[in-house]
Structure 1
Amino acid sequence: MPSPPLFSGRSGLVLLLCAALSGCAAVGPSYRAPASEQLSLPSQWQAALPHAGDTQRLLAWWDRFNDPALTRLLQAAEASNPSLQKASANIASARASVTTARASGQPTLSGSASASRNNTLGSAQTTTTGGLDASWEIDLFGSVRRAAESADATLQARQADWHDARVSLAAEVATDYVTYRACQLTLQASQADARSSQTTADVTRRSLQAGMTARADAALADASAASASATAISQQAECDITVKALVALTGLAEPALRQQLDSQPAQLPAPTGFLVNTMPVDLLSQRPDLVSTERALAAASAQIGVAEADRYPRLSLSGSLSGSRSAGVNTTPWSFGPSLSLPLLNGGAKRAAVDSAQAAYDLALASYQQAVRSAVQEVEQSLVRQDSAERRSADVQRSAAGYRSYANAVEAHWRAGGDSLLNLELARRNAIAAEQSLITVQRDQLLYGIALYKAVGGGWTVSTGDTP
């Protein structure tokens, strides 16, 4: 018996009707991103903006450091860091979910075949069978479409997460690198102070032996030398701890990492400034973490439609065609027809599912609003800190120079016998504190710049298209 034509009689009419119905609008809300008014975004930054340097693309911001060692560390971190690998795996999983969601709206077809041979009362027979089974659930109320929208939005969120991981990783590597360079400078100052204090202690000890110095002065000089030595040892440990952090971030072996760090002098980078000319509203598209949060909101909105569509009837088409041959006789049975599923009684479970999806959307909206406010706060605070560091830099430099000059004068006076050891130690401590303050403010200028780079999005844009 021949198989039926695809559009024959009532079955064909049913199929045409179902295809028409599948074009109906999907139930549930059609997503619209919250307007800036809903997010309480200010129209401009309230903190002072840095105006040094020329405006450049933030994407190439790290080039301003003009620091080959930092560039190599950033490249090494991006090549093998687990946070980026995890973000890439999440993208692959989200892509698979998109394929699964879209496949739910497509017809399915499966085939089967078998062959057997048996012997009954001395008569051997071969039996062969084959068949096709097809089914197609008509997307009457847009459940499949909403699920695909949710999956697409989730994929976009995971892609934004990958960019956010890159920005965060680069900022973390640069922060540790700058911290290490500042630590080196502080260590050099501590070691110089320890050597100077030990020299003073040796001179005082010889003077004591000659009967020209009081025993109390010798004890003070020895105590000062021991304290300075302990400070240098502690500072060395802090530098080593920062190296360990860079090893974990970059994946480089410690000897290789130290070789890269030692390839350049122990000094802080001196990058040019950059102009922050973006308005707060631009953060919504410039910061990858905000894009991710907004896309999660879109996915939650689509899930309301999925839950709502589950409350309505489901219509599907199914058919089967099989053929068999046994003892020279062929048979080709077939079946085709629609089936309708009506959710009649479910104890309110499906309504509760819609309410749950709506609550999940409300939670995602609140999370997005909070993320936007936190982003504006981060930028404003970074601007304030960077402006403060820049404005106090000149004063700290003048203070360090003055205290160092005074300490040198007191030391020369002490060596000539015209000043006390106590005054020398006080002058030396003030000079050391001023030198450390200068290193700290220079370090902070860089760290606040890095924080500002991250706060304004790190140069990421949706159109980069370089996700794995």
Structure 2
Amino acid sequence: MMMKRWFTMAAAPLVLGACALAPPPARVDAQMPAEWQAPLAHNGSVADLSQWWAGHGDALLAELVEASQAASPTVAAAAARIANARAQRTAAGAALLPSLDGFASIDRASQQSTLPGGTTTQAGVQAAWEIDVFGARRAGRNAAEERLLGAGAQWHDARVAVAAETANQYYSLRTCEQLLKVAEQDAASRRDSARLTDLAAGAGFQAPANAALARASAADASNRATQQRAQCDIEVKALVALAAMPEAQLRSKLAASPPAAAPAIAIAALPAQVVAQRPDVYAAERAVAAASFDVGSAQAQRYPRLSLQGMIGAANFRSGGENTELTAWTIGPLALSVPIFDAGTRRANVDAARANYEEAVVRYRASARQAVREVEEALVRLASTAARTGDAQAALDGYRAAFIAAEDRYKGGFGSLLELEDARRTRLAAENAVVALQRERSAAWVALYRAAGGGWTGTPNTEPKPE
């Protein structure tokens, strides 16, 4: 009775203190803007982002994305983090339950005494349980659960990032191929002009300087085509490294698969709806919740700990051909441990946990702002490329017509080689500008896919399962 009264008196003020020092909230406001400040792209569906690659009509791109995700060390590392987080959650949950261990032993002894020598065998089970009176272990389990959810989201984020990187590399290669085709056509045109100029110079209708200029122009174009071809080879090798696909196989697939433009994506009217789909933002939010539980666990460590032990076993003593059997069991001790003096260690742990919580909140809000920024930037780039496409194509059509006219005049003897070369340069620049604009638009769609979370919706049980 005295023990019960002492325990009640010792624990009562600590219980009241525990109630007064509640952990900070597990959910905080991300402080999102009320609406987008960039023009929205409304030509598709955000819900279809998970199947976005298949919607390209480019089977090779979808295959490369899948292969890159399977071969990515980043995705593999994220899967390993899930396994580690799952193990930590299991351990934290097991700490709430009693531990049960079996034991067995055998020994034989002979001693110079009145007691006879013999063989003693014993076996049994023993249990230990720390009763989670103030919730320290429950908070640890909850923190581990939140970190597991965050690790699952980071796995999705890694897959989305690898998919975006692969798509960008693929579009870069396709752009390089288009630029190579333009360079090769330009080189062929300049070679033809050089041939005609050489013939005219040989007949005395052109100055030798014009023939030299035409040959120099042809050599310059051949040099650019060779350089562009080398760049395309480099782009292929980068894609080989990403997808872990043999180069010969990849080149064969590239030759047999025509490129397709990226399909459109629609973005919801409210930033919060889009940012909620970002696995990295979700992981940051879970980190806030885990840090909140860590504060609760650190606070609970400042209060008494109650533990209970028990044992049940049997023993047999054999001596002189006779057996003596014994059984025993114990319940207890029921032990109370009350922290009295630790030189401020537990208080410092609480302060450190609170500081980690504040950092997690700042990181969460920063990740939400970064998500909004990335979506806004992608929308701005999409709007810009859409507005410039018509002008770029009109400029190309005009420069092509001007070049054809200049070439016809030169061939007819009414125009100069300098005029022809000037028209050729402007046409080449316009063609390259159109190709570059197409690449910029594809990159903007990929950036929007990445910024919108890649179709991730936080559906449970979508991370890799343990083997």
Normalised TM-score (structure 1): 0.89
Structure 1 residue 465 corresponds to structure 2 residue 461: yes
Once residues 179 and 228 of structure 2 are traced to their aligned partners in structure 1, the CA distance between those partners, rounded to angstroms, is 7
Distance 1:190-1:365 versus aligned 2 partners, 3 A rule: same
Aligned-partner SS, 2:53:
helix
The answer (yes or no) to whether the contact 1:56–1:274 under 8 Å persists in 2 is no
- Equivalent residue number for residue 268 of structure 2: 277
The answer (yes or no) to whether the contact 1:26–1:143 under 8 Å persists in 2 is no
Distance 1:150-1:26 versus aligned 2 partners, 3 A rule: farther
Deviation at 1:273, TM superposition (A): 2.4
Once residues 360 and 135 of structure 1 are traced to their aligned partners in structure 2, the CA distance between those partners, rounded to angstroms, is 32
- Equivalent residue number for residue 359 of structure 2: 363
Once residues 427 and 238 of structure 2 are traced to their aligned partners in structure 1, the CA distance between those partners, rounded to angstroms, is 31
2:23 to 5, 29, 32: 29
Q: Which moved more, 1:138-147 or 1:108-117?
A: 108-117
- Equivalent residue number for residue 250 of structure 2: 257
In the comparison of the two structures, how many residue pairs are matched? 445
Aligned-partner SS, 1:130:
strand
5 Å matches for 1:8-47? 28-29=22-23, 31-35=25-29, 39-47=30-38
Once residues 303 and 387 of structure 1 are traced to their aligned partners in structure 2, the CA distance between those partners, rounded to angstroms, is 45
- Equivalent residue number for residue 159 of structure 1: 152
Aligned-partner SS, 1:243:
helix
Deviation at 1:81, TM superposition (A): 2.5
Structure 1 residue 51 corresponds to structure 2 residue 42: yes
The answer (yes or no) to whether the contact 1:107–1:134 under 8 Å persists in 2 is yes
Aligned-partner SS, 1:252:
coil
Structure 1 residue 130 corresponds to structure 2 residue 126: no
Structure 1 residue 330 corresponds to structure 2 residue 325: yes
5 Å matches for 1:307-456? 307-326=298-317, 327=319, 328-335=323-330, 336-456=332-452
Which amino acid counterpart does residue 319 of structure 1 have in structure 2?
G
Q: Deviations over 1:14-59 (max 9, x none)?
A: 9xxx9xx99x979742633112xxx331121111112345776222
Structure 1 residue 100 corresponds to structure 2 residue 91: yes
Q: Which moved more, 1:390-399 or 1:129-138?
A: 129-138
Distance 1:113-1:54 versus aligned 2 partners, 3 A rule: closer
Once residues 295 and 89 of structure 1 are traced to their aligned partners in structure 2, the CA distance between those partners, rounded to angstroms, is 18
Once residues 438 and 368 of structure 2 are traced to their aligned partners in structure 1, the CA distance between those partners, rounded to angstroms, is 30
Q: Which moved more, 1:87-96 or 1:240-249?
A: 240-249
The answer (yes or no) to whether the contact 1:153–1:299 under 8 Å persists in 2 is yes
Once residues 389 and 47 of structure 2 are traced to their aligned partners in structure 1, the CA distance between those partners, rounded to angstroms, is 24
The answer (yes or no) to whether the contact 1:198–1:225 under 8 Å persists in 2 is yes
The answer (yes or no) to whether the contact 1:27–1:309 under 8 Å persists in 2 is no
2:235 to 236, 242, 264: 242
The answer (yes or no) to whether the contact 2:155–2:463 under 8 Å persists in 1 is yes
Q: Which moved more, 1:324-333 or 1:356-365?
A: 324-333
Once residues 284 and 111 of structure 1 are traced to their aligned partners in structure 2, the CA distance between those partners, rounded to angstroms, is 51
Distance 1:53-1:94 versus aligned 2 partners, 3 A rule: closer
Q: CA RMSD in A?
A: 2.4
5 Å matches for 1:45-84? 45-52=36-43, 57-84=48-75
Which amino acid counterpart does residue 425 of structure 1 have in structure 2?
E
5 Å matches for 1:220-231? 220-231=213-224
Deviation at 1:330, TM superposition (A): 3.3
Structure 1 residue 293 corresponds to structure 2 residue 284: yes
Once residues 373 and 360 of structure 1 are traced to their aligned partners in structure 2, the CA distance between those partners, rounded to angstroms, is 20
Q: Which moved more, 1:445-454 or 1:25-34?
A: 25-34
Structure 1 residue 176 corresponds to structure 2 residue 169: yes
1:112 to 103, 106, 116: 103
Normalised TM-score (structure 2): 0.89
Q: Which moved more, 1:64-73 or 1:211-220?
A: 211-220
Distance 1:350-1:170 versus aligned 2 partners, 3 A rule: same
Q: Any unmatched runs of 5+ in structure 2?
A: none
Once residues 200 and 178 of structure 2 are traced to their aligned partners in structure 1, the CA distance between those partners, rounded to angstroms, is 33
Aligned-partner SS, 1:340:
strand
The answer (yes or no) to whether the contact 1:25–1:142 under 8 Å persists in 2 is no
Once residues 171 and 457 of structure 2 are traced to their aligned partners in structure 1, the CA distance between those partners, rounded to angstroms, is 26
Aligned-partner SS, 1:257:
helix
- Equivalent residue number for residue 141 of structure 1: 134
